[in-house]
Amino acid sequence: MRKNLSRKILESHLISGNMIVGEEIAVKVDQTLTHDVTGTMAYLAFETMNIPKIKTELSASYADHNLLYADNKNPDDHVYLQSIAKKYGLHFSRAGNGICHTVHFERFGKPGQILLGSDSHTPTGSAIGMLAIGAGGLDVALAMAGEPLYLKMPKIVNVILTGKLKSGVAAKDIVLEMLRRESVKGGVGKIYEYTGPALEYLTVYDRSTITNMGAEMGATTSVFPSDECVHEFFRAQNREKDWKELYPDENAEYDEVIEINLDTLEPLVAQPAMPDKVCCVSELSKIKLDQVFIGSCTNASYMDLTKAARILKGHTVHPNVSLVIAPGSRQIFSMLLRDGIIADLVSAGARILECGCGPCVGIGQAPKTNGISLRTSNRNFKGRSGTLDASVYLASPEVAAISAIKGYIANPVLENNLEELFKDLREPKEFIIDDTMIIPPEENSKAVEIIRGPNIKPMPINEALPEKVQVHVSAYCGDNITTDDIIPANAQFSALRSNIPAISEITFGRIDPEFVNRAKKYKKSIIVGGENYGQGSSREHAAIAPMYLGVKAVIAKSLARIHKNNLINHGLVPLIFRNKEDYEKISQDDELLIENFSEQLKSRKILVKNLTKNFEFETYVELTDREVEILKDGGQLKQVQLKNASK
Ligand code: MIC
Ligand code: SF4
């Protein structure tokens, strides 16, 4: 068999299973990453495992999301994470050092390795020829404890890129084109593997924009080969020893093929409020803007911001627009400062934020009432910017910069001097290397004390699966419900990530403010969802908080990969409608009954009685035997507890 790159990496890490599409495989994890909004839960879980040191080759913990210190919560969490890193042998990237995904591939990623991260955009790292995969915090904790990663063998889809982008069209437009074609659920169960002659024109940062937003299609990951361009990048990072060449075999076999001719691409934009609502900028009427944000783990590289600066130089941001910019990492920030680019941005009226996630996830810089914001980030879900009535568009830094000047969403290709403006721009040959904001692991850490602030509450653990579940429908949701809908993120809510009792109070808060009272009234309940339930962020709070409020299971038309795993990990049964029409027959507050739950789970066919409407319908589960056992025990942590108790 002529092997593709993804298969080669998976095979070299295979611990068990057959690499047949859809079958469960277990692979060794070399590296992990966590950050401050998923890390606390991951380490609270890790602490319960009683393991003296992490067992991965390298694990890194980042402080990059919760950077606003409005009260004690975020700084307390950062102190906790730093003490955990010291105790268990992790690298700790301090607040100010940059966004986890960017810093990780700059300083730690290695071609050919497997990285597991408790963030849905972990695939960003696959830009350098590693397989970087997003997961819930508990999966990452287990990987740090030396457990393999279990995943369904994905389909490997070859995306062949031909042609060349014209000036003003960017890597962002390639991935927006993918979203236009594939939709927010088109990537579920797939790895997109990029090849083709156009790769020679795409830098590592361009590639990282594309691998980053593979997450928006629900893909397991997206990967590029480790070619000469990646080699150059490792040289520039002074990490040549970590580089190795990695390509798919010639004429490698793939499960599907997609071709994109870059000559034909135009600047694209994702319209509110889904990343796949993509159209050409030129199709839009002049949409007036209140805010432009250039930043996030998708598009905050040296070249992204340099191109924006070139466009902005000599102009002032439109009087009605607030332009905010956050460099992706301290390395990028330092180089932009050195080369006078920040000065150009500031002269044009840009507001510079610290290196971190910030506005991308509603942590500061919310738009005004009914505000219209254009962003280079990756998600434009309703409410994610911090206000429910905002309309958020997603586009490249080039579109963002020209639009910030004009005051409406504008097409940079129509600016006839762009080619000239970008003519001499090259990725730097050397980067500023300064790891002083990364605290390396400590050798002798036995005496290290874990420091816990008052906001850090223990991880709640589920009960064993009840045999009879007689529950009410506490939430009845439509299609494409995101984990942002289930657990909203913004400056205020993200500060509650280490406190499940507190954060559970905002479950579904933005879309269904009565949910929490309803769930509490029913004590035990079930959620009904449409297609692609739980898409988006990896936040396992979207499983833990409902579990804490007594939710026993979710019945949906289909489920997003990471969220489904999070449900299983925390003991909530992920049921799928056998006949999608049955979804319509159920209403909120209906009383449902499932009997002989564990027996039915084993058969994978679960009959549910609707006691309110007096009919029965069939659901099924796509679970391995291992997952059935986890659910019967009440989740992974409960299972570990049971195993420890029987020793
Ligand atoms: C996001 O982009 O939504 C986040 C915040 O980075 C999340 C992590 C989380 O909310 O726990 C993600 O992408 O997984
Ligand atoms: Fe941070 Fe936004 Fe990237 Fe999530 S998507 S890691 S919030 S920058």
Say what the pLDDT of residue 585 is.
98
- 273: preceding bond cis by omega (within 30 degrees): yes
Q: What integer is the mean pLDDT of 556-582?
A: 98
Say what the pLDDT of residue 243 is.
98
Helix (H, G, I), strand (E, B) or coil at 163: coil
Using alpha carbons, select from 39, 34, 31, 37 the residue that is nearest to residue 13: 31
Residue 308 pLDDT exceeds 90: yes
570 lines ligand 1 (CB under 6 A): no
Say what the pLDDT of residue 443 is.
87
Q: What integer is the mean pLDDT of 354-370?
A: 98
**For 535, which DSSP code?**
B
DSSP 115-161: EEESSTTGGGGGGGTSEEEE--HHHHHHHHTTPPEEEE--EEEEEEE
378 lines ligand 1 (CB under 6 A): no
Protein residue whose Cα sits closest to atom 3 of ligand 1? 537
Protein residue whose Cα sits closest to atom 1 of ligand 2? 357
- Tens digits of residue pLDDT in 122-152: 999 999 999 999 999 999 999 999 999 999 9
- The single-letter code of the amino acid at 508 is F
Q: Give the ligand 1 atom nearest the CA of 489.
A: 10
Q: Give the ligand 1 atom nearest the CA of 360.
A: 2
Angle at 567 (CA atoms; ends 502, 100), nearest 5 degrees: 70
**Separation of CA 111 and ligand 1 centre (Å):** 24
539 lines ligand 1 (CB under 6 A): yes
Distance between CA atoms of 337 and 329, rounded to whole angstroms? 12
Protein residue whose Cα sits closest to atom 4 of ligand 1? 537
Which secondary-structure segment (H or E) carries 105?
helix 100-107
101 lines ligand 1 (CB under 6 A): no
Residue 647 pLDDT exceeds 80: no
Average pLDDT, whole number, for the chain?
A: 97
**Separation of CA 224 and ligand 2 centre (Å):** 21
**Separation of CA 360 and ligand 2 centre (Å):** 6
Q: Give the ligand 1 atom nearest the CA of 38.
A: 11
Ligand nearest to the CA of 63: 2
121 lines ligand 1 (CB under 6 A): yes
Distance between CA atoms of 538 and 232, rounded to whole angstroms? 32
**Separation of CA 120 and ligand 1 centre (Å):** 6
Which secondary-structure segment (H or E) carries 615?
strand 615-620
Using alpha carbons, select from 78, 221, 99, 90 the residue that is nearest to residue 143: 90
Say what the pLDDT of residue 643 is.
82
Percent of the chain with pLDDT over 70: 100
216 lines ligand 2 (CB under 6 A): no
Say what the pLDDT of residue 321 is.
98
Distance between CA atoms of 24 and 185, rounded to whole angstroms? 20
289 lines ligand 1 (CB under 6 A): no
Separation of CA 252 from chain center:
29
Using alpha carbons, select from 137, 151, 55, 146 the residue that is nearest to residue 637: 137
- Tens digits of residue pLDDT in 160-198: 999 999 999 999 999 999 999 999 999 999 999 999 999
**Separation of CA 171 and ligand 2 centre (Å):** 18
Residue 212 pLDDT exceeds 80: yes
**Separation of CA 214 and ligand 2 centre (Å):** 14
- Tens digits of residue pLDDT in 597-640: 999 999 999 999 999 999 999 999 999 999 999 999 999 999 98
- Tens digits of residue pLDDT in 253-300: 999 999 999 999 999 999 999 999 999 999 999 999 999 999 999 999
Percent of the chain with pLDDT over 90: 97
Residue 644 pLDDT exceeds 80: no
Using alpha carbons, select from 169, 132, 174 the residue that is nearest to residue 9: 132
377 lines ligand 2 (CB under 6 A): yes
360 lines ligand 2 (CB under 6 A): yes
Say what the pLDDT of residue 641 is.
80
- Tens digits of residue pLDDT in 78-137: 999 999 999 999 999 999 999 999 999 999 999 999 999 999 999 999 999 999 999 999
Backbone angles phi, psi at 385, to 5 degrees: -80, -5
Name the packing angle between helices 137-144 and 39-48 (round to 10°).
50
Distance between CA atoms of 240 and 230, rounded to whole angstroms? 10
Say what the pLDDT of residue 113 is.
99
126 lines ligand 1 (CB under 6 A): no
384 lines ligand 2 (CB under 6 A): no
Say what the pLDDT of residue 313 is.
96
Say what the pLDDT of residue 646 is.
78
Protein residue whose Cα sits closest to atom 7 of ligand 1? 537
38 lines ligand 1 (CB under 6 A): yes
Say what the pLDDT of residue 61 is.
99
496 lines ligand 1 (CB under 6 A): no
Residues 377/357, Cβ–Cβ less than 8 Å: no
Ligand nearest to the CA of 535: 1
Q: What integer is the mean pLDDT of 367-389?
A: 97
Ligand 2 pocket mutation pick from 93, 99, 102, 497 by most atoms within 8 angstroms of CB? 99
119 lines ligand 1 (CB under 6 A): yes
